Structure 1
Amino acid sequence: MTDQIQVIGEALVDVVEGGETHPGGSPMNIAVGLARLGHPTTLHARIGADAYGDLIRAHLDEAGVTLGPGTLVTGSTSTAIARVDADGKASYEFDIDWDIPAPDATGARLVHTGSIGALREPGASAVRAALGSAGGGTLLTLDPNIRPDVIGTRDEVLCRVADLAALCHVVKLSDEDAAWLAPDATLEEVLADLAAHGARFVVATRGSEGCLALVDGSWFSLPARPVVVADTIGAGDAFMSGLLHALLRDGTDRLLAVGEPLPDDAVRAALETALTSAALTVARAGANPPASAELDEALRASRE
């Protein structure tokens, strides 16, 4: 096994109303976040041969993310029209093509997937195949990041999320994702259901209220970091990359992967790191996760 991280999912361009463009897509944002935090990361996506594709490739190259085989294709790059309201909250309208070969994730330390890439066919089947063949000892993680307009019916999505939760050690979602998946259930009930399918570390972000996690039967609730919000684009992705970084940093990923118990202080350290990563990102425009030195400095400051 190597230290290599494999991320599987969409890479697209967020076209913000008003003319700004930012490389985006939840899995791509997480790949960039992990690479900026010092982890060797490969992205398996679908990037077209156009100006938007050039923008994405430059962004990935600057972060140090490598591209998996078959990621560069002819044709157009997927886009998301982003609309930001007065509170900085973003909504999206997608134009996406998601058809990829199943990546080879054998020997990776961590394989992450999520959002449209994990839930939209035909590519979702390739993602499922990659996770199923990753092998023992590889940490498998999921962020559903629900996009209702482009991922199929609720019943189809519920089945896919349940199937992936049964494979993955870590599942992160937002309170909005939880409300869409189970409108009549509490957030605690949604997390407990995902844990019942097999995920050991299940966490929900709650915006300004922080996060709630269920880890091996124990509940954890941490407040959000105080911050002046520029916009929320990439906030959940920065939380996820910060969370995975902390698990890798502290060796907690090995405990999860091999079925060993997690110390409570390790869980709290991972959640604190994730919340700090998200706070740094929402303080500036676009999906712009922190680098390692910036995150470390913010963590030190929060403990003083």
Structure 2
Amino acid sequence: MADVTDGTIAVLGEALIDVVETGDDDPRLARPGGSPYNVAIGLARLERPVSFVGRLSHDPLGTILRRHAERSGVDLSLSVDAHETTTVALVELAAESDGSARYRFGVDGTADFRWTDAELAAVPTHGLAALHFGSLASWLPPGDDAVLRRVAALREQVLVSYDPNVRPHLQPNRTAARARIERALPLAHVVKTSDEDIAWLYPDADADEIARSWLELGPELVVVTRGGEGSVAHTADGEVRRPILPIEVADTVGAGDAFMSGLLDALCDRDLVRPGAAGAAGDDVLGAVLVHAALVAGITCSRAGANPPRRSELAAHRST
């Protein structure tokens, strides 16, 4: 079993290649991606000790993913050397000026979703400050059940955060998708989702009402990002709202993942990365957490692709 630095945040999930439709003479651009992988990159650039727990292929695309993670300072000692191919996602940027993105995935037989209990046993029970999981690897077979079992085994020892990261193209059965996500929610202390995810899972429902109902399933903090309307933090004591960072948007690829990185980074700064702490934080503290996460996401949106900022860039932006 690999050792990790005390205070490490482990991030469990997929690492893939985004093939972006650019709409110009160079029609497709390949970039490292995958929601959990992006979260790990974002945390490392914010100078948090982070270990990515992924199944990384040894094909040429897997080599790109490894090198990109290592250049950003992500520890890969808990990742698995996989024999399957790397997952690829086609990213289509909307023609509108908001830079929103639509995704289509090629997941059949690829490396990211074939987790076993034996592989996940390498995720340690000591040294971790937090475990983040979610997205495709948390609800795609055949490895999703193994992922949930390992998260359940760690929940009482470390803060667990979760982002369901709904993908309708891969979850055509809305009822089954909702049940799968509601099965994962009790394993998490902190949940980050979007109003778009909620709207697809619960048509015609109010996003705030759904967030409050999720609190009843076990999480202590549920944060909902609402695009141009900012974000909302829900706890048993009420809710806190903060606006987005005014910024010129290049595209929104990786924006939610950058927000998740910023959220965990802000919780670390305030010594709230432990079970029971985030949900008990006051309104001013939670508001500051949301503002920090929005800044990380906003800077990411100001440039193309999932390219989260380094800590020095946050300081430079705050000083302007």
Quote the offset at 1:296 in angstroms. Answer: 3.0
Query: Structure 2: how far apart are the matches of 1:267 and 1:145?
Result: 22
Alignment gaps of 5+ in structure 2 = 22-26
Counterpart of 1:92 in structure 2 is 103
Number of matched pairs: 300
| Pairing 1:11–2:15 present | yes
Task: Return the TM-score normalized by structure 2.
Answer: 0.89
> Of 22, 25, 41, which aligns to 2:31?
22
Structure 1 or 2: larger helix share?
A: 1
Alignment of 1:1-304 (within 5 A): 2-17=6-21, 18-69=27-78, 71-86=80-95, 87=97, 88-96=99-107, 97=110, 98-102=113-117, 103=120, 104-107=123-126, 108-151=128-171, 153-254=173-274, 256-257=275-276, 261-301=280-320
More deviation in 17-26 or 65-74? 65-74
Q: Counterpart amino acid of 1:129?
A: R
Query: Structure 1: how far apart are the matches of 2:273 and 2:287?
Result: 14
Q: Counterpart amino acid of 2:139?
A: L
1:207-257: CA deviation from partner (whole Å, max 9, x where unpaired):
111112212331111111101110000000000000000001110223x44
> Does the 8 Å CA contact 2:267/2:278 hold for their aligned counterparts?
no
The change in CA–CA distance for 1:300 and 1:203 in structure 2 (over 3 A counts) is farther
Quote the offset at 1:258 in angstroms. Answer: 5.7
> Does the 8 Å CA contact 1:26/1:237 hold for their aligned counterparts?
yes
> Does the 8 Å CA contact 2:15/2:37 hold for their aligned counterparts?
yes
The change in CA–CA distance for 1:136 and 1:249 in structure 2 (over 3 A counts) is same
Query: Structure 2: how far apart are the matches of 1:175 and 1:166?
Result: 20
Q: Counterpart amino acid of 1:37?
A: L
Quote the offset at 1:184 in angstroms. Answer: 2.3
Identity within the alignment, %: 38
> Does the 8 Å CA contact 1:252/1:266 hold for their aligned counterparts?
no
Query: Structure 2: how far apart are the matches of 1:298 and 1:172?
Result: 24
Query: Structure 1: how far apart are the matches of 2:279 and 2:245?
Result: 30
Query: Structure 2: how far apart are the matches of 1:153 and 1:85?
Result: 25
Q: Counterpart amino acid of 2:311?
A: S
The change in CA–CA distance for 1:165 and 1:300 in structure 2 (over 3 A counts) is farther
The change in CA–CA distance for 1:137 and 1:257 in structure 2 (over 3 A counts) is farther
After superposition, the CA RMSD in angstroms is: 1.8
Query: Structure 2: how far apart are the matches of 1:274 and 1:71?
Result: 30
| 3-state secondary structure, aligned to 1:67 | coil
Counterpart of 2:24 in structure 1 is none
Quote the offset at 1:155 in angstroms. Answer: 2.4
Query: Structure 1: how far apart are the matches of 2:32 and 2:266?
Result: 24
> Does the 8 Å CA contact 2:50/2:75 hold for their aligned counterparts?
yes
Quote the offset at 1:135 in angstroms. Answer: 4.9
Q: Counterpart amino acid of 2:84?
A: G
| 3-state secondary structure, aligned to 2:103 | strand
Alignment gaps of 5+ in structure 1 = none
Query: Structure 1: how far apart are the matches of 2:143 and 2:76?
Result: 17
Query: Structure 2: how far apart are the matches of 1:267 and 1:260?
Result: 9
The change in CA–CA distance for 1:137 and 1:258 in structure 2 (over 3 A counts) is farther
